[in-house]
Amino acid sequence: MQHQSFLEYKRYRYLKWAAWLTLLALGAYGWHRNTEFSTPGGVGYGGTWMGYTLGGLAGLLILWLLWLGIRKRRYRASSSTLQGWVSAHVYLGLAAVVLATLHSGLELGLNLHTLTYALMLVVVFSGIYGVLVFLRVPSAMTAAMGDDDIPGLVLQIQEVDQQARRVALLLPDEYNTLVLDAAEKTRMRGTVFDHILKSTSRGCPTARAVRRVQELNRSLKDDQARLGRELIALLLSRRSAVGRIRSQYRALARMRLWLLVHVPLSLALLVALVGHIVAVFIYW
């Protein structure tokens, strides 16, 4: 069976819905502006009956999309259903942007109504960004790891550390210190922002051990030179595994960071939307 992406869900069901809704809204707005509403700027705005209609549709669409997001997290759903939710969020979210823009008539200012509009734009486009992240990052993570996983790489690092310590005991004391620092002080886990900012990689003891052992090896001879080469191979293997684990945590952090931004902004949009609607009815 050919794989179907969320963009193609049910033969582009939500794209068709969004396209028809957008075309009808544009046609209705254009007709209303040219036949029943006239201002010096020649644009309609939310205070007309057409503005209320478009704004009401946009508000209902936003509430429905927010409800879908909550429902998706509360109940276990099939892969097909999840694809439908994501497809609806992308296409109907963009349609909501068009409806809300027509509702405003681009009559924007420093008020709650403009704040609601701005929050809607941020939520919709951050949601689309999040979808792209969730589409690309997991596949990139799988490609980078191959048949390995983080627990497996941790076990590899532990085995490398044991071998490196045995070799380092046969070399000068500084080698042993470097190997112990690499094993005990290298950070791989951290907060979302640690991984996004790559702070876990700064001053990495494993990277420092690789550089210093390469320098020290230049003065070794005979059997000790062979041991030095063996140790540097082990440290390079450690550095590679550490780098792969950090890249996985960094990818996971990107997805979590999106949720840390998108979910609170969605709640803020809900509050602002309720305030916008209440304010409209108070001053109607």
Does some domain include residue 1?
no
**Distance (Å, whole) CA 46 – CA 26:** 14
For the chain, the domain total comes to 2
Q: With both helix axes pointing from N to C terminus, report the angle between 150-168 and 173-185 in degrees, rounded to the nearest 10.
A: 160
Enter the pTM of the model. Answer: 0.70
**Distance (Å, whole) CA 132 – CA 134:** 5
**Distance (Å, whole) CA 242 – CA 150:** 10
In this predicted structure, what is the pLDDT of residue 140?
76
Q: 100 and 17 share a domain?
A: yes
**Distance (Å, whole) CA 246 – CA 191:** 12
Phi and psi dihedrals of 147, rounded to 5? Answer: -85, 0
Q: 210 and 127 share a domain?
A: no
Amino acid, res. 36: E
Q: 104 and 163 share a domain?
A: no
Q: 135 and 269 share a domain?
A: yes
Q: 195 and 129 share a domain?
A: no
**Distance (Å, whole) CA 161 – CA 182:** 9
Does some domain include residue 131?
yes
Burial of 14 (0-12, 13-18, 19+ CB in 10 A): buried
Structure-derived torsion over alpha carbons of residues 206, 211, 213, 217, reported in degrees to the nearest 10: 160
Q: 220 and 271 share a domain?
A: no
Domain with 104, as residue range(s), is 6-145+260-282
Q: Supply 246's token pair.
A: 């950090």
In this predicted structure, what is the pLDDT of residue 44?
54
Per-residue pLDDT of the chain (284 residues; tens, 9 = 90+): 445 676 677 788 888 998 999 999 888 888 877 776 655 445 556 667 787 888 888 888 888 888 766 665 554 555 556 677 778 888 888 899 999 888 887 777 777 888 888 999 998 888 888 877 877 777 777 777 777 888 999 999 999 999 999 999 999 999 999 999 999 999 998 888 888 888 888 889 999 999 999 999 999 888 899 999 999 999 999 999 999 999 999 888 888 888 888 888 888 998 998 888 888 777 65
In this predicted structure, what is the pLDDT of residue 73?
56
Q: 22 and 131 share a domain?
A: yes
